[in-house]
Amino acid sequence: MTLVPNPAEKIIVALDGMNETEVIELVQQIPKLSWIKIGLELFVSGGPHLVNNLRNMGKQVFLDLKFHDIPTTMSKACRQAAMTGARLITVHACSGSKALFEANQAALEGAAEVGFPPPTLLAVTVLTSWSNDDFSNELLIAQSINERVRLLTDLAVASGLGGCVCSPLEAKELRSLNPSPFEIITPGIRLKGGERQDQSRVMTPLEAVEAGASKLVVGRSITQSENPSEAFNSFCRELTIA
Ligand code: C5P
């Protein structure tokens, strides 16, 4: 029995710390790979044409640029991002409802103009690098991180966004408030006993999906493996009950 219909579609491989040639080589090594996350570092070096190249290789791109700016700039940036054919695009929810609403509309229009399917804008709420102490001492925010995450997710939903990126530990509560097809995408995923690197709050793929995650972001466990294809398959296997 398969636990999820197509496990390979649930796993997004984060390509961090690689140049364009290494990216293409890695992608060619993992035949079942469907989703790729391009972050700031890779986008700054590879640019929109890398997104095109990957799309032409049949891959779906999650463009994780975490836009945060005034409404006009957000809209224009999201429009351009959507015109690359990226299917998932991140924006900071604390940009506010006007910026989020307009950015979402602009992304839909941009994709439609060039004949791509509608992208999903994903809200980034509170970066996991923040602690509750830094939150109150540096930003003088009285809310806890959990309260803030809920508030910003509500704002994103009310502004028409189709999902969010969050810690796997936040997934259960956010899923209870936001049923599917709202996307809940979680990094911080490790196989049981796997190296945690700098992630402190991790879940296994199965735990994260059971908590309500719709897609999982996995980086170094796959990209730094001696056999990336086998590592990718191990993540898929965990979502499949034989
Ligand atoms: O290598 P690892 O699996 O830890 O990679 C996780 C990916 O998810 C990286 O691209 C990282 O930037 C991203 N990410 C994260 N935590 C967040 C948001 C994004 O680890 N809260």
Domains and CATH numbers, the chain: 2-241 (3.20.20.70)
- Among 66, 76, 98, 172, the active-site one is 66
Give all strands (DSSP E) within the chain, no chain letters: 11-14, 35-39, 60-67, 88-92, 120-124, 163-165, 183-186, 215-218
For the stretch 139-183, pLDDT in tens is: 999 999 999 999 999 999 999 999 999 999 999 999 999 999 999
Which of 217, 218, 220, 232 has the most ligand 1 atoms within 8 A of CB, as the residue to mutate? 217
Tell me whether residue 32 is one of the annotated catalytic residues: no
Per-residue pLDDT for 3 more than 60?
Answer: yes
Q: Count other C-beta atoms under 10 Å from residue 150's C-beta.
A: 17
Percentage of the chain surpassing pLDDT 90?
Answer: 88
- Residue 82: CA count within 13 A, CB half-sphere: 27
Please work out whether the CB of residue 90 comes within 6 Å of at least one atom of ligand 1: no
Please work out whether the CB of residue 14 comes within 6 Å of at least one atom of ligand 1: yes
- Residue 202: what pLDDT? 86
Please work out whether the CB of residue 215 comes within 6 Å of at least one atom of ligand 1: no
Per-residue pLDDT for 123 more than 90?
Answer: yes
- Residue 140: CA count within 13 A, CB half-sphere: 0
Protein residue with least CA distance to atom 5, ligand 1: 219
Which one is predicted more confidently, 24 or 1?
Answer: 24
Q: Average of pLDDT values for 184-212?
A: 90
Q: Can the peptide bond before residue 181 be classed as cis, meaning omega within 30 degrees of 0? A: yes
Tell me the whole-structure pTM to 2 decimals: 0.95
- Residue 242: what pLDDT? 53
Phi and psi torsions of 61, nearest 5°: -110, 130
- Residue 1: what pLDDT? 47
Q: Average of pLDDT values for 49-56?
A: 95
